[in-house]
Chains A and B, each alone.
Chain A
Amino acid sequence: MRKRIYYWTASEHINKPVIADTVLNTGVKINILKAKVEPQEAFLILELIGSKETIEKALDYLSKFGEVEEISKVIKRDLEKCVHCGCCLTQCPIDAIYMDEEYNVVFKEDECVGCKNCMKACPFKAIEIIE
């Protein structure tokens, strides 16, 4: 399974290989979707890939060094604004956007990695990335 989280870690842990240790200690795979390091803290969006147990172990381990918040969605679409044109379709590097048989533009939200390419291409500003 996959689980996406926001992760904040305080400045005293920034120079420690927390992510690498998590991988080594728990066997979970981690995909770093976003990392922003500031003087007082670091903020990351992480995707954890593994079994239910390893992911739980990884969350426990990460919690020792910072704060974890689960995210169910990275991408938010305003369906009032979206006209289902399809300008975003070709911009998605992981095929998380497609057009269904009824010509609706569909977002597979749980696969989104938050690259923002679709957001930048939308003529209606209908797509928001949850930061």
Chain B
Amino acid sequence: MKTIQEINEKIKKGEAVVVTAEEMIKIVEEEGVKKAADYVDVVTTGTFGAMCSSGVFINFGHSDPPIKMLKIYLNNVEAYGGLAAVDAYIGATQPNEDPDVDIDYGGAHVIEDLVRGKEIELYAEGYTTDCYPRKDVNVKITLDDVNQAIMVNPRNGYQTYAAATNSRDEKIYTYMGVLLPEYSNVHYSGAGQLNPLQNDYDPETKSFNTIGIGTRIFLGGGIGYVIGEGTQHNPPFGTLMVKGDLKQMDPKFIRAATMPKYGSTLYIGLGIPIPVLNEKIAERCAIRDEDIEVPIYDYGTPRRDRPLIAKTNYKVLRSGKITLRVNIEGREVEKTVKTGSVSSYKMAREVAETLKKWILDGKFLLSERVDTLGRAENKPMKSPITLVRDILSKPPITAQRNISIMEAAKILIKHNINHLPIVDEQGRLVGIITSWDIAKALAQNKKTIEEIMTRNVVTAYEDEPVDHVAVKMSKYNISGVPVVDNYRRVVGVVTSEDISRLFGGKK
């Protein structure tokens, strides 16, 4: 049994034994837990990944005459100004006001540019008061010019982030990167065996051995602190709220990124030293990639609760390949696909190594936590949902492909509809005819349904949210989609009129 004070005394004397979490695995394997707990004083951890829930409080100092800033833009990215006169919070995911630039230069990029010492354009507007007569201000500033730039990140350092794949027949663009169609890749994030919270976790009590409020950490190349549990904290998916001084940070460990067609985000290097106070802590610090279970979810399902496709671990994910059992068009198939990381293990190592060096050099002392992390809770939002089945008109009106164009036209008129799904003998969708297709047939003197029907039909499912169908209709510029079951049998049609009715009031 050691105390943090004793460890700090050793650090000051240059006698502390500090190893990274990767090195600890070997030490425990070779020497056993007891010996490792005896002679290792500190285990350093690290992670380097996209941490969307990040941002910086900036105090700009007062202008002359003073202004009460309300609408605040930094390089054309809006910062939140509902604070005191010259304070603002810039969030990493805020897009650019210019729609052409949009997510290519967002809040994260402003933060990185500040750390790099680049000049930033500040534009702010306010309303005048007796003591704040100025209406607007437009100046160029650098990080040196502002009073404080305090990074406060509501949710960083996820303990385990679930992996992602995609069941759809098209590419999707997510915060887990570009996911290929039909489960053709798996993306994952996280430092696994190097992750701070993993190395400090006690699975029995679902709490953390040493990390708590006040824990001194490595944040973005500077010294930071854990200020509490992060949002959505729910061990074994624990998260941290952290703060640090942006002025101390290093652009190597604060990197702006843009997830393609998704948004801007900030990659942050975060490392935490774990004091090896006893055997229990030593044992946990030897956790390996293969010991950490990672669920893989289907991001192709546009729902909050995504289907679980498989459970794996970081060792398999890092091997570059994984075999999944998946359902493609009603058939269960085994598929071996490539895995790709969204976070950087190389940089996570560098964080752990840098922190180790700081401690060995006596530049970084460990802190005692003042309290444990707070309440764990990650429950869904109470929000209404409308599914396709809620607005579906039944029974579906369909036709076989051997009917004449005249017959198709009659069906449309008789039922007062604009979309006619064409089906085979089993009722499975093969195409669709719209009133526009009939008009085109007349204009171009086409004779058969086969000639005019659209074969590549965009479809919907009964348990799909209406919002998602609206996005599809807008994306493909269409006014109706057949609703099909798992065997592609048509069970109804959703049209833009059905969706308008949701907003227009009349059911």
A positions within 8 Å CB-CB of B:
83-91, 98-99, 102-104, 120-125
When the two chains form their complex, are residues A103 and B349 in contact, meaning their CB atoms are under 8 A apart? yes
The segment from B202-210, B254-262, B467-475 found at the interface with A is: B254-262
5 A-B pairs within 8 Å (CB atoms) are namely: A85-B344, A90-B180, A91-B340, A99-B341, A123-B258
Q: Which residues of B contact A122 (CB under 8 A)?
A: 260
Instruction: Tell me if B48 and A91 are in contact (CB < 8 A).
Output: no
Indicate which residue in B49, B178, B345 contacts A121 across the interface (CB closer than 8 Å).
Answer: B178
- Interface status of B239 (Cβ within 8 A of chain A): no
A98-B320, A124-B255, A124-B257 known; A91+B178 contact, CB < 8 A: yes
Is the CB–CB distance between B255 and A102 below 8 Å? no
Give min CB distance, A111 to chain B, whole Å: 16
**Shortest Cβ distance from A82 into B: residue:** B344
A123 and B346 within 8 A (CB): no
- 4 shortest interchain CB distances as A-B pairs: A86-B341, A90-B185, A123-B257, A89-B340
Q: Which residue of A lies closest to B256 (CB)?
A: A124
The interface on chain B, measured as residues whose beta carbon lies within 8 A of the other chain's beta carbons, has a size of 31
List the B side residues contacting A123 at CB < 8 Å. 50, 177, 257-260, 265, 267
Q: Which of B180, B185, B344 contacts A84 (CB 8 A)?
A: B344
Which residue of B258, B320, B349 is within 8 Å of A89 (Cβ)?
A: B320
In the assembled complex, the CB of B85 is this many whole angstroms from the nearest CB of chain A, namely: 36
Q: Are B177 and A121 in contact (CB under 8 A)?
A: yes
Chain A residues, CB < 8 A from B349: 103
Q: Is the CB of A87 within 8 A of B258?
A: no
Residue pair B48, A83 in contact (C-beta under 8 Å): yes
Q: Beyond A85-B344, A121-B177, list 5 extra A-B contacts (CB 8 Å).
A: A85-B342, A87-B341, A90-B339, A99-B318, A102-B346
- Given known pairs A91-B178, A123-B258, A123-B260, the reply for A103 and B340 (CB within 8 Å) is no
The minimal Cβ–Cβ distance linking B217 to chain A, given in whole angstroms, is 20
Q: Choose among A88, A90, A99, A125 the residue that contacts B258 (Cβ–Cβ < 8 A).
A: A125
Question: Is B369 interfacial (CB 8 A cutoff)?
Answer: no
A123 CA to B189 CA, complexed, in Å:
14
Residue of A nearest to B348 (CB): A103
B50, B180, B342: the one contacting A86 at CB < 8 Å is: B342
Within the complex, the shortest CB–CB distance from B186 to chain A, in Å, comes to 8
**Given A121-B177, A123-B259, do A90 and B340 touch, yes or no (CB 8 Å)?**
yes
Given A99-B320, A121-B260, A124-B255 in contact, is the A85-B341 Cβ separation under 8 Å? yes
